[in-house]
Structure 1
Amino acid sequence: MKRTATVRLDRPITAAATLAKTAEDLGFDGVWVADHYFHRDATPALALMAAATERVTLGTAVVSPLLRHPALLASSTATLNEVSGGRFVLGLGAGGYEFASELAIRPRSPLGLTREAVEIVRGLQDGRAEVEGETFTTRGALRFAAGRSPIYLAGRGPKMLALAGEIADGVITHGLSRDHIRYVKDHVRSHPEGQASGPAQERVEGPAVVLMLDVQIDTNPEKARDALRPRCMAMAGGAYADELIEVYGLDPDDVGLLRQALRQQDRRPELVTDQMVDAFCLAGPPEHVAERLEEFAEAGVDEVILSVAGGEEDLIDLAKAVIR
């Protein structure tokens, strides 16, 4: 199982590039960034990270085609692959909770626009895109050689997971219970033919299953959980299929209270229960984190994207716990 670190772009991108090099030196398999309009731009950051590193994969977890048109995504993906020597993975998602609340973007069909976005990126990578979609249209070609690169879709619900299995190389999802991992595999790997994009993404059982999670290492588990409550609020109280509540191992009443609070802009950390933290994050001493990662690998997870709150010191602590 690959162990990948995230670098937060709440710092200068030159510092992010230095941190990416640190992650590579520590033995991580990849370094990924989130693409948010309220942080620094992911594309130049990834270019600097590519120049600072030699081995690790680089990726977005995730970028939305509602902020970057799929034609632009095809160009930036090809450019980043050119800079990195083919190490870039495009992690793609329809958008987070802030799209509706902060940008007034309410897409009619996240499933449809995601399919269209992948079709355009793939078409341009292969030479030309001729897509007339409900959300996106592209008629044209890139004016430089691109070639295919891996595309991972962010997904939680059964339909998006199935779409990832049909058209993508992997799925990035949240949820750490064994039941949830089985749920994801059942839906994603129902389409083993998929769209694998190269030797590094060859698949026997379908697209890669990738868990994205926050980690807080502390010998005091309760202190670690408290630190994680704000960081998993949207994951626990977001708009996901109700059938997943039981799969995650959560109490429906607790989820309902948190969802209602978030709609009212109430972000009190105490609304996030211990169950919620443990459903989406790892909290506790290094040996606990290491044991859980081994459980994920045994359950068939292909990669984990691990996020810590701080900088180099926290990244080093994470590496000590997870790199074997």
Structure 2
Amino acid sequence: MVEIGLGLQSDKPAGAYARLARSAEAAGFDVLTVFGDLMYQPPIFPLLEMAGATNRVRLGPACLNPYSMAPYEIAGQIAALDLASHGRAYLGLARGTWLDAVGLPQPRPLTALAEAAEVVGRLLSGDRTGYAGRMFTLQAGAALRYDRHRPRVPLLLGAWGPRGAALAGRIADEIKVGGSANPDMVAVMRERLRPGATAAGRDVAEIGIVLGAVTVVDTDGEAARARARTEVAMYLAVVADLDPTVTLPPGLVAEVSRLVAAGEHEAAGRLIPGDVLDRFAFSGTPGQVAKQAQALIDAGVHRVEFGTPHGLTDERGVDLLGTEVLPLLSR
């Protein structure tokens, strides 16, 4: 069955995550994700809080990266989450974004991701044979010194491009296309997964495709779409060139980027046409958002992820998604 998830930013005070998680689980959501964005709270804090407040939903960070966190630490954090949630954790890995702001180079990203996943997998499974990679190593006998709930947790890779998708096809359970609400990307990603899946002797259909993006839902659809335009303006320059199915008006990205750099986010958002907005965000009334999500379901996604800020306020958005959007979806 297709999963519906919520993606949360880690910018809330203690207690807020538990309230949102309880509401989301009661409404019927399947997965709760916490973003691992630079300079926000580490996602393990909200994830552990939500693990204690829920009983059913899957939980995971999307994504951690192997440049700011060593693989043994990634293994430890995901083992802790899996223990706290009684086996409901998943691990999201990606190369990371904007790490130059903290002086972290990102050499050989595909090698880093593949080797980090290998080291994490060996540590969780208790494999003591050692590992010698190009970037990460484990000495023979190195092992985690505590019990794990499971010897393996599901792995999600965050990627858009063909090489990243091929890696996901080889080693991951899911691939997440972040910042996209475009159903045309589902077929693109399926073909990009295929070479890696084939090389690993896997059925490409076994690898789940996750699409997630900024979501703003409200009974005032115009207000919701205006807020979504402002949010999308801040990342349009990053994702626009990654989507081969979208043709943007000439000069749009440059002008939006100029206005964002000048701090004029709302003015930048007003430049984004409605059809472009719908490729990179879920927005509008509950009916409009449900229609967008259903298009992804019909295109063959494994999971739709409604990202922050969810609504004009977070709690109002989560409530509307649960009470008025979920009931409209056929999965």
**Match for residue 238 of structure 1?**
238
1:310-321 aligned within 5 A: 310-321=313-324
**Residues 203 and 13 of structure 1, relative CA distance in 2, 3 Å threshold:** farther
- Identify which range, 8-17 or 212-221, moves more after superposition: 212-221
**Match for residue 27 of structure 2?**
26
Secondary structure at the aligned position of 2:135 is classed as coil
**Residues 58 and 268 of structure 1, relative CA distance in 2, 3 Å threshold:** same
Q: In structure 1, what is the Cα distance between the partners aligned to 2:199 and 2:80?
A: 24
Q: 1:294 Cα shift?
A: 1.4
> Structure 1 vs Structure 2: percent identity of aligned residues?
28
Letter aligned with residue 301 of structure 2: V
Q: In structure 1, what is the Cα distance between the partners aligned to 2:190 and 2:94?
A: 19
Secondary structure at the aligned position of 1:212 is classed as strand
- Identify which range, 264-273 or 150-159, moves more after superposition: 264-273
Letter aligned with residue 150 of structure 1: P
Q: 1:60 Cα shift?
A: 0.9
Q: In structure 1, what is the Cα distance between the partners aligned to 2:281 and 2:73?
A: 33
**Match for residue 136 of structure 2?**
136
**Match for residue 167 of structure 2?**
163
Contact 1:64 1:93 in 2 (8 A): yes
Contact 1:165 1:192 in 2 (8 A): yes
The alignment covers a number of residue pairs equal to: 314
- TM-score, normalization: structure 1? 0.87
Secondary structure at the aligned position of 2:306 is classed as strand
Q: In structure 1, what is the Cα distance between the partners aligned to 2:257 and 2:133?
A: 32
**Residues 238 and 308 of structure 1, relative CA distance in 2, 3 Å threshold:** closer
Q: 1:245 Cα shift?
A: 4.3
Secondary structure at the aligned position of 1:118 is classed as helix
Deviations 1:262-285 (A, max 9, x none): 6x6766343341244221101111
Letter aligned with residue 315 of structure 1: V
Secondary structure at the aligned position of 1:66 is classed as coil
**Match for residue 199 of structure 1?**
none
Q: In structure 2, what is the Cα distance between the partners aligned to 1:180 and 1:15?
A: 33
Letter aligned with residue 252 of structure 2: D
Unaligned runs of 5+ in 2: none
- Identify which range, 49-58 or 226-235, moves more after superposition: 226-235
**Residues 239 and 223 of structure 1, relative CA distance in 2, 3 Å threshold:** closer
- TM-score, normalization: structure 2? 0.85
**Match for residue 61 of structure 1?**
62
Letter aligned with residue 248 of structure 1: V
Secondary structure at the aligned position of 2:47 is classed as helix
**Match for residue 127 of structure 1?**
126
Runs of 4+ in 1 over 6 A off after TM superposition: none
**Match for residue 183 of structure 1?**
188
**Match for residue 298 of structure 2?**
298
Secondary structure at the aligned position of 1:6 is classed as strand
1:103-114 aligned within 5 A: 103-114=102-113
Q: In structure 2, what is the Cα distance between the partners aligned to 1:107 and 1:308?
A: 27
**Match for residue 75 of structure 2?**
74
Q: In structure 2, what is the Cα distance between the partners aligned to 1:144 and 1:18?
A: 30
Q: 1:45 Cα shift?
A: 2.2
Secondary structure at the aligned position of 2:160 is classed as coil
Deviations 1:134-189 (A, max 9, x none): 43333321123430000100001111111111111100113232321211111124
Contact 1:180 1:248 in 2 (8 A): no
**Match for residue 245 of structure 2?**
247
Q: 1:289 Cα shift?
A: 1.1
Q: 1:301 Cα shift?
A: 0.4
Contact 2:166 2:197 in 1 (8 A): no
Unaligned runs of 5+ in 1: 196-201
Q: In structure 2, what is the Cα distance between the partners aligned to 1:265 and 1:167?
A: 41
Q: In structure 1, what is the Cα distance between the partners aligned to 2:64 and 2:102?
A: 15
